[in-house]
């Protein structure tokens, strides 16, 4: 499974159908990459950005949980 697909699966659990556009935007703005070019080396930075940005749409605890799951992917 590609890194993007792994992160997308997590994000969909929390953001539903908005996950794809949310990830694309976070990758573009924070990481300066296309979401499909994501590598496992981006997971920790992306996790931080996702937590900050997702708080606007979901509860802070859920945003933190989602970010934690993304960050954990870096160790896998």
Please give the average per-residue pLDDT across 28-45, as a whole number: 94
**Spatial CA neighbour of 39 closest among 11, 10, 3:** 3
Q: How far is CA 47 from CA 40, 62, in A?
A: 11, 13
Residue 11, domain extent: 3-73
Q: How is 54-76 classified by DSSP, letter by letter?
A: HTTTS-HHHHHHHHHHHHHHTT-
Q: In the predicted model, is pLDDT for residue 4 greater than 90?
A: yes
56 pLDDT tier (thresholds 50, 70, 90): very high
Compute the mean pLDDT over every residue in the chain, rounded to the nearest whole number: 95
67, 54 contact by CB (below 8 A)? yes
Average pLDDT over residues 35-60: 95
Could you say which DSSP state residue 33 is in? S
Total number of domains constituting the chain? 1
With 90 as the cut, is the pLDDT of residue 21 above it? yes
């Amino acid at each position: 499974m590609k890194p993007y697909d792994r992160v997308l699966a997590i994000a969909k659990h929390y953001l539903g159908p908005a996950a794809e556009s949310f990830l694309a935007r976070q990758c573009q703005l924070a990481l300066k990459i296309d979401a499909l070019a994501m590598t496992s080396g981006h997971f920790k930075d992306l996790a931080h950005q996702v937590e900050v940005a997702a708080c606007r749409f979901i509860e802070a605890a859920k945003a933190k949980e989602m970010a934690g799951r993304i960050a954990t992917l870096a160790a896998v």
